[in-house]
Amino acid sequence: MAEETIEKNCTVRNKMGVHARPAALIVQTANRFPCDVTLVKDGQPVNAKSIMGVLMLAAPMGTTVTVRAEGEQAQECADAIAELFEKGFNEAIG
Is the CB of residue 67 less than 8 Å from the CB of residue 81?
Answer: yes
Is the CB of residue 47 less than 8 Å from the CB of residue 53?
Answer: yes
Is the CB of residue 23 less than 8 Å from the CB of residue 55?
Answer: yes
- Strands of 1-94, DSSP E: 5-11, 36-41, 44-47, 64-70
34 is catalytic: no
Point out the catalytic residue in the list 8, 16, 19, 70.
19
Q: Which residues are catalytic?
A: 19
